[in-house]
Amino acid sequence: MVASQLVSCAPTHDAKLYAASQTFDEARHVEVFHKYLMTRCKMIYPINPSLKFLLDKVLTDPRWDLKFIGMQILIEGLALAAFQTIHETTEDPLLRDIVGLVIRDEGRHVAFGVNYLEDWIRALREDQIEERAQFAYEACVVMRDRLVSTNVAQEFGFTEAEAIEINNTTQGGRAFRTFLFERMIPNLKRIGLLTDKIRPKFEALGVLQFENLQHDGMIDWAALEAPLEKHAA
């Protein structure tokens, strides 16, 4: 839905064309994950309320560039972290192949966002930049602290507090947060949203150690086009 909004509200022809292709990609992702869940898992849990809040914010904000920041940098960065975590930890070869292919699409989406937003944000007034930097920071707080599947854990007999503790201490939870900020912080720095005013807040989150890692503005086309690994029968 966000990608389709960008087709109409993005300011340039190139951005509209790319948003159109991304809308098609995201529709395929929805279909493949829905089919996997219904066929393999035979159930779908409701969306995490904090993630829904973030998505609704991006969907309803009238500013196209905030949609772009929210979608291309934040939500896509979140998706890449989740998919990388699944790819590294799942024992299901089908799911590993699915997320491997989806990661290729998401990598292109983030790269376009980084390159497109870099020049745009640099041209904004300082107060506009700070407003967008604050939005990015608040989204990172939500993604670090509140994206916990407490409703899932409660079905297995854990309390909400126990679910949060599990998320904070298990290998999967730690891997997710590492993947998340390894991708997101360098990208935010690249597009100019790690401002001097906002840096102390990100430092308090404990994520600035990632700021000098490689950003996603460059695409490794060889990796994206490499064939999937063959699994033994």
Is 230 or 88 the better-scoring residue by pLDDT? 88
Instruction: Give, in degrees to the nearest 5, the angle at Cα 107 between 104 and 113.
Output: 145
> Residue 79: its pLDDT value, please?
87
Yes or no: say if 114 and 72 are a contact pair by the CB < 8 Å rule.
Answer: yes
- Tens-digit pLDDT profile for residues 132-143: 999 999 998 888
**What proportion of the chain, given as a percentage, has pLDDT over 70?**
87
Yes or no: say if 198 and 137 are a contact pair by the CB < 8 Å rule.
Answer: yes
HSE of 148, CA atoms in CB hemisphere, 13 A: 22
Yes or no: say if 76 and 106 are a contact pair by the CB < 8 Å rule.
Answer: yes
Instruction: Give, in degrees to the nearest 5, the angle at Cα 200 between 197 and 201.
Output: 95
| Alpha carbons 181 and 183: distance in angstroms, whole number | 5
- Tens-digit pLDDT profile for residues 39-73: 999 988 888 888 888 899 999 999 999 999 998 89
Q: What is the pTM of this model?
A: 0.83
| Alpha carbons 9 and 60: distance in angstroms, whole number | 13
- Tens-digit pLDDT profile for residues 122-133: 999 999 999 999
> Residue 44: its pLDDT value, please?
86
| Measured torsion, CA atoms of residues 4, 8, 9, 12, in degrees rounded to the nearest 10 | 110
- Tens-digit pLDDT profile for residues 136-194: 999 988 887 666 666 666 677 777 777 777 766 777 677 777 888 888 899 999 999 99
Yes or no: say if 107 and 72 are a contact pair by the CB < 8 Å rule.
Answer: no
Query: Which alpha helices (DSSP H) does 37-75 contain, by range?
Result: 49-60, 64-68
- Tens-digit pLDDT profile for residues 199-214: 999 999 888 999 988 8
Identity at 127, one-letter amino acid code: D
| Measured torsion, CA atoms of residues 139, 142, 148, 150, in degrees rounded to the nearest 10 | -130
* Position 31 confidence tier, pLDDT thresholds 50, 70, 90: very high
> Residue 29: its pLDDT value, please?
95
> Residue 127: its pLDDT value, please?
96
| pLDDT (average), residues 80-88 | 87
> Residue 224: its pLDDT value, please?
65
The secondary structure of residue 210, as a DSSP letter, is: G
Residue with tokens 């920071």: 137
**Hey, what are 3's tokens?**
């990608």
Where are the chain's structural domains?
47-225
> Residue 233: its pLDDT value, please?
44
> Residue 216: its pLDDT value, please?
77
